[in-house]
Structure 1
Amino acid sequence: MFAYILKRLLYTIPTLFAISIMSFIIIQLPPGDYFSVLASKMAKESDTIANTAALEAMGARYGLNEPLYVQYWKWISGIVLRGDFGQSFEYNRPVSVLLWDRLGLTFLLSFSTLIFVWAVSFPIGIYSAVRKYSIGDYLGTFIGFVGLAIPNFLMALVLMYVSFKYFGRSVGGLFSPEFVNAEWSWARLMDFLAHLWIPVIVLGTAGTAGLIRIMRANMLDEIYKPYVVTARAKGLSEIRLLFKYPVRVALNPFISTVGWVLPELVSGATITAIVLSLPTTGPLLLRSLISQDMYLAGSFIMMLSVLTVLGTLISDILLAWLDPRIRFK
């Protein structure tokens, strides 16, 4: 196992290097760039000498007038050697500052959504399999199909309309207006928790519906197998039997999703976040791609790539620990 983990970690180095090159090239593909737009705006201002000096300093720092490979080298070497992700041209702030400003709230929201999804889908999926074709099974199936059919952003719009029209309360954002820029306190924490449940339900509906169906299908594949029948014949209690054998095997899809759970904890649901006015990283990433703010967008893509690679490694290790049938030989 240790040799496998070490080998996988070594493989991540060329993988991330290739991803960083492709990300930088893709960001540069659309015609024009933010630096050209900024230069044209500065040219129209009165202080031409100061603007020209600022543009020259920026160009020298990031090699913006150099070939693409020089720009890439300045960017990737800054990340690896100094932890410098570059400067956001649109916000005129370091990329690392912009990322950390929104990363905390994004992680809290995404982690809460993940716990909600697992806490709901896990017991419903088991119950639907054990009580196959019962009223509860049909109800869980109905909820699953509804959750899969309704887009998250549409549910957010409906919820916002109903809440404002009939209850006089806005559900947008994660804070009330008086707490948006306030320091963290008990009152701000309570306000955050009061707003948190709405985006958690909206974001978690589709994931919950999908995992309910997966859990039910996997459980139905396992509970009638000979090893389960043998364990039941030996007098093992039903609850202990379920959790020791079929549930353990049926958990594989939950563990295998760790590979995309980690990047999702950081990226968030972009469209839903825009609809609900959530101060998360998703809208910031979208804005950086639209404006071709290359260092901000490139740093986002690199971070998501690193988390995807690490998440895949973690899920493989957890699967081997959970299911003895899986080995790395």
Structure 2
Amino acid sequence: MILSTASSSQANAAFWRFLATRLLVSLLTLLAVSFMIYGLIELMPGDYAERELFRKYSGTGVTITQAEIDRVRADLGLDRPFLVRYGEWLWNVVTRLDFGPAFRVETSVNALIGDKFFYTFVLVVGAMLISYIVAIPVGIWVASRKSGIGDGVVTLLSYLGLALPNFAIALVLLMLNAFVFDLDVTGLVSQEFRDAPWSMAKFLDFLGHAYIPLLVLGWSTTAFQLQTMRGLMKDEMGKLYVTAAQARGFSGWPMLIKYPARHAVMPIVSTIGFDFSRSFNELPIVASILVLGELGQELLLAFLDADQNTAAGILVCITSVIIAANFLSDLLVAALDPRVRMRGGR
């Protein structure tokens, strides 16, 4: 009993050390991402001051002087050394969650990306939740049955999800709603709600527009995880421990959930962070087709304008979500598999 208690305490201590290490690595990753974005834009030819003056005087025949460029740089604080500007920006982010001014639109980065980050976050998280809610139970069900019509239909749909690119699905759904049902499904809210504060009416309107991007984003992930769950379940169903459980009288869904599904779901849980990252990468293409107000377009414009504050702020927000998803997957894997807790997360 004493040895068992000591072993359990050591396992718990090892696991908490593992979580603390992952948290530290996550924070260092965010720091590295913000520094690299600031540094990459700093290395680009020209800066925001030059681009702004070029836009202002383009086609007017006015010659832009170096004195004018230096004046705009001084007004924006771009004449200070790189490390000073980055350090000030980082301090404001850490202490006040303030990403600084967005030069292109003369407002704060927080105000610029607030609603757009919310839309992006809801779409990605919603698509992932739908994918897992559908893929895991359907994969268990298909694997537990002998080959039949249900297995064939599910396999066909999953292959279509893997084969068809998201932009093609978005185009088909867009044209179907426009020409068959005479519905405008572009954007995430109707015109009258775009500048309105959040209310129940705006939220319901948002849900009425969000189902298509949720379906498009979730389709490929659902197809991939469904095939993964189906294959892993079939592999686990053929193992001796499942046969032994059935011999002891376990059967049906309780047996499937308690034994083979618990092991089969582990690879899916461990790839949550990867699925989030892939969805963030796929969203800008879908957003350009469905005219969604998300962060991808703002990020591209920030790079084109050499707007360091906006680019770093957007990528830090997206990276934070991906890192949080990876951290959550570690916790879920540890909760599902006692061996992980005993080994301290390794």
User: Bigger CA drift: 195-204 or 139-148?
Assistant: 195-204
Who is 1:93 aligned against? 107
User: Bigger CA drift: 51-60 or 71-80?
Assistant: 51-60
**Is contact 2:50–2:69 with CA below 8 Å preserved after alignment?**
no
Question: What's the TM-score, normalizing by structure 1?
Answer: 0.87
The alpha carbon displacement at 1:208 in A equals 0.7
Q: Deviations over 1:85-132 (max 9, x none)?
A: 121111111111112122222222223222221222122211221124
Bigger relative CO (Cα 8 Å, ≥ 6 apart) = 2
Count of residues in Structure 1 that have an aligned counterpart in Structure 2? 323
- The one of 178, 202, 206 equivalent to 1:164 is 178
Give the Cα separation in 1 of the matches to 2:192 and 2:267. 42
Who is 1:175 aligned against? 189
Structure 2 regions of 5+ residues with no counterpart? Answer: 1-14
**Is contact 1:78–1:85 with CA below 8 Å preserved after alignment?**
yes
Q: 1:101 to 1:58 in 2, by over 3 A?
A: farther
Who is 2:49 aligned against? 35
**Is contact 2:158–2:222 with CA below 8 Å preserved after alignment?**
yes
Q: 1:52 to 1:26 in 2, by over 3 A?
A: closer
Give the Cα separation in 1 of the matches to 2:146 and 2:80. 65
Give the Cα separation in 1 of the matches to 2:255 and 2:149. 24
1:55 aligns with 2:72: yes
Who is 1:287 aligned against? 301
Who is 1:112 aligned against? 126
- The one of 78, 82, 87 equivalent to 1:73 is 87
**Is contact 1:148–1:209 with CA below 8 Å preserved after alignment?**
yes
Who is 2:208 aligned against? 194
The alpha carbon displacement at 1:302 in A equals 2.0
Give the Cα separation in 1 of the matches to 2:112 and 2:98. 13
SS, match of residue 325 in structure 1: helix
Structure 1 regions of 5+ residues with no counterpart? Answer: none
**Is contact 2:116–2:294 with CA below 8 Å preserved after alignment?**
yes
The alpha carbon displacement at 1:232 in A equals 0.3
**Is contact 2:123–2:210 with CA below 8 Å preserved after alignment?**
yes
SS, match of residue 186 in structure 2: coil
**Is contact 1:232–1:238 with CA below 8 Å preserved after alignment?**
no
- The one of 141, 149, 160 equivalent to 2:163 is 149
Equivalent AA in structure 2 for residue 294 of structure 1: Q
SS, match of residue 194 in structure 1: helix
- The one of 274, 278, 291 equivalent to 1:277 is 291
SS, match of residue 16 in structure 1: helix
Give the Cα separation in 2 of the matches to 1:297 and 1:141. 41
Give the Cα separation in 2 of the matches to 1:15 and 1:310. 12
The alpha carbon displacement at 1:242 in A equals 0.1
SS, match of residue 235 in structure 1: coil
Equivalent AA in structure 1 for residue 102 of structure 2: S
Q: Deviations over 1:272-306 (max 9, x none)?
A: 01211112222222332233322111112222333
1:315 aligns with 2:332: no
- The one of 207, 215, 226 equivalent to 2:229 is 215
SS, match of residue 292 in structure 2: coil
SS, match of residue 269 in structure 1: helix
Who is 1:325 aligned against? 339
1:12 aligns with 2:26: yes
Q: 1:185 to 1:18 in 2, by over 3 A?
A: closer
Aligned residues: CA RMSD: 2.7
**Is contact 1:267–1:281 with CA below 8 Å preserved after alignment?**
no
User: Bigger CA drift: 203-212 or 25-34?
Assistant: 25-34
The alpha carbon displacement at 1:322 in A equals 0.5
Q: 1:300 to 1:182 in 2, by over 3 A?
A: closer
Who is 1:83 aligned against? 97
**Is contact 1:107–1:266 with CA below 8 Å preserved after alignment?**
no
Give the Cα separation in 2 of the matches to 1:68 and 1:185. 42
User: Bigger CA drift: 18-27 or 161-170?
Assistant: 18-27
**Is contact 1:87–1:93 with CA below 8 Å preserved after alignment?**
yes
Q: Percent identity?
A: 36
Q: 1:149 to 1:40 in 2, by over 3 A?
A: same
SS, match of residue 91 in structure 1: coil
SS, match of residue 99 in structure 2: coil
- The one of 244, 252, 266 equivalent to 1:238 is 252
